[in-house]
Amino acid sequence: METKKAAIIYQSKRGTTQKYAAEIAFYLKKKGIESKVTSVQKFNSNDIAAVDYIFFGCWTSGLFFILQHPDKEWIQFAKTLSQNLTAKTALFTTYKIRTGSMFRNMKKYLQGKTHEAKLQLQSRNGELTEFNKNLIDLFVD
Ligand SMILES: Cc1cc2nc3c(=O)[nH]c(=O)nc-3n(C[C@H](O)[C@H](O)[C@H](O)COP(=O)(O)O)c2cc1C
């Protein structure tokens, strides 16, 4: 069987979401899935050509209790995605208080470009919990 591939694309201001992206890649590697981790700034459309999974990540921006949304730089990145991407899609974010409308808004910007995200991962400190790992197991099966 061919090795499965994942693209993990993140936006991070202070490094927490970058760490989370790396943790996801590390876990996928243990499961035999090869990942390429890229920031939205360095993203190139070749990064998502011929991958089985795409993980889109962004830090949670908002008013802490309400109105969570991806950062405008991430929105800009989502707008540049033109393909009808066939890879299975996952979302991830880091936050402090609550993610609220974050995933709903990320999905809004990806609508019509990717398959609807079947996995949503969140973390306060960028660590991948056992619960997160179990969700990934179900997602990649
Ligand atoms: C301007 C600003 C707005 C934020 N809004 C929220 C919010 O609405 N909800 C929340 O839980 N965390 C919020 N946070 C916390 C960040 O989402 C959190 O610290 C995140 O892990 C930062 O990721 P990064 O280290 O990858 O930049 C906010 C942080 C900043 C700087």
Conformation bin of residue 131: beta by default, left when phi > 0, alpha when psi is -120 to 50: alpha
Alpha carbon of 139 to ligand 1 centroid (Å): 26
Whose alpha carbon is nearest atom 30 of ligand 1?
Answer: 61
Tens digit of pLDDT for each residue in 12-28?
Answer: 999 999 999 999 999 99
Tens digit of pLDDT for each residue in 32-54?
Answer: 999 999 999 999 988 998 999 99
Report the mean per-residue pLDDT for the chain. 95
- pLDDT on residue 84: 82
Whose alpha carbon is nearest atom 4 of ligand 1?
Answer: 61
Return the number of other C-beta atoms located less than 10 Å from residue 83's C-beta: 11
**What is each CA distance from 116 to 18, 19, 90, in whole angstroms?**
23, 24, 8
- pLDDT on residue 95: 98
Strand partners, 10: 39, 57
- Range of the structural domain that residue 98 is part of: 5-140
Tell me the pLDDT of the chain (141 aa) as tens digits: 689 999 999 999 999 999 999 999 999 999 999 999 999 999 998 899 899 999 999 999 999 999 999 999 999 999 999 778 889 999 999 999 999 999 999 999 999 999 999 999 999 999 999 999 999 999 998
* Residue 132, ligand 1, Cβ within 6 A: no
Q: Which helix (H) or strand (E) holds 7?
A: strand 5-11
Can you say how many angstroms the Cα of residue 93 is from the centroid of all Cα atoms in its chain? 7
What does residue 129 show for φ and ψ, rounded to 5 degrees? -80, 170
* Residue 93, ligand 1, Cβ within 6 A: no
- Residue pair 17/11 in contact (Cβ under 8 Å)? The answer is yes
* Residue 98, ligand 1, Cβ within 6 A: yes
C-alpha closest to that of 63 among 94, 91, 98: 98
- CATH code of the domain containing 69: 3.40.50.360
Q: List CB contacts of 55: < 8 A, sequence separation 6 or more.
A: 6, 7, 8, 9, 21, 24, 90, 91, 92, 121
